[in-house]
Structure 1
Amino acid sequence: MRSAAITPQAYLDTLPADRKHAMSQLREILLENLPAGFAEVMNYGMIGYVVPHTLYAPGYHCNPEEPLPFINIASQKNFVALYHMGLYAAPDLLAWFTQEYPKHVKTKPDMGKSCIRFKKMAGIPYVLIGQLASKLSPQQWIALYESQLKK
């Protein structure tokens, strides 16, 4: 579900109470744990955390006018989603995350290539999400991203 909101707070203000609380918590944990240099924006109708053009002038290869995406969070129809591009690009990061996940949540992770879906708001492992967010600096993400483009 794409939002037409132009600010993260406007996005949150459109959500039902249970989703607003979960999304606000995700936003807060990301802002607290992302390394310096990432910028919070609205992109793709979601709240996004990107490498701004001031740090990576080429931008996103699919559309160089857009900054390089890293993490997005969204309230979808049946779940809250966290999209972490590093999980898709770094097998070692994905292995770490899937190994740590059972230490925080009793259910198996519901995941796609870069997507983690949470159907039950009470089951979101905020501490683990914070740890995941802190694993890559903008410079490390740029290097990983560029290494994937060359394949």
Structure 2
Amino acid sequence: MQSKAINIKDYLKEIPEERKQAFLKLRETIVNNIPKGFVEQMSYGTIGFSVPHFIYPNGYHCDSKLPLPFVNIACQKNFIALYHMGIYANPELLQWFISEYPKYSNQKLDMGKSCIRFKKLDQIPFALISELIKKMSVADWIKCYESQIKKSK
């Protein structure tokens, strides 16, 4: 479910009241912990944190006009989603996250390739997400992206 909002302020206005507090806390967790160099902006109809073109001029391989995406958050129909490309591209980071998750939440981990879904908003493991966000710098992400994703395209 992509938003047609053109800026973050408008996106945040669209979030249903019953999800707003959890979503804002998730965004704040990311903003307060993401390494320097990533830029927050609307991306794919969600709030995204990307590597800007002035750092990585090649952009995203799917559309080089777009900056290199890293993390997105979205308020979907039945859940809040965190999309983390580092988990998708780095098997060690994925294994770390899977092994740490039960220490922070008693809910079953619900995830796809890069998507972590939170259906019970009072069970979002903000401390774990904080640690996840800190684990990959811009340089780390570019190196991972070029070796794991871009090479195969």
- Shared fold (TM-score, shorter chain, > 0.5): yes
- Following superposition, the deviation at residue 39 of structure 1 comes to 0.1
Matches within 5 A, 1:1-151: 1-148=1-148, 149-151=150-152
Q: TM-score, normalised by structure 2?
A: 0.96
The alignment covers a number of residue pairs equal to 151
Distance in 2 (alpha carbons) for counterparts of 1:150 and 1:97: 24
Are 1:18 and 1:121, in contact at CA under 8 Å, matched by a contact in 2? no
Q: Secondary structure at the match of 2:42?
A: strand
Stretches of 4+ moved more than 2 A in 1? none
User: In structure 2, what residue type is equivalent to 1:57?
Assistant: P
Q: TM-score, normalised by structure 1?
A: 0.97
User: In structure 1, what residue type is equivalent to 2:126?
Assistant: Y
Distance in 1 (alpha carbons) for counterparts of 2:126 and 2:64: 32
Structure 2 segments unaligned to the other structure (5+ residues): none
- Following superposition, the deviation at residue 18 of structure 1 comes to 2.1
Structure 1 segments unaligned to the other structure (5+ residues): none
Superposed CA deviations along residues 11-35 of structure 1, whole A, max 9, x for unmatched, are: 1111111211111111100000000
Q: Secondary structure at the match of 1:146?
A: helix
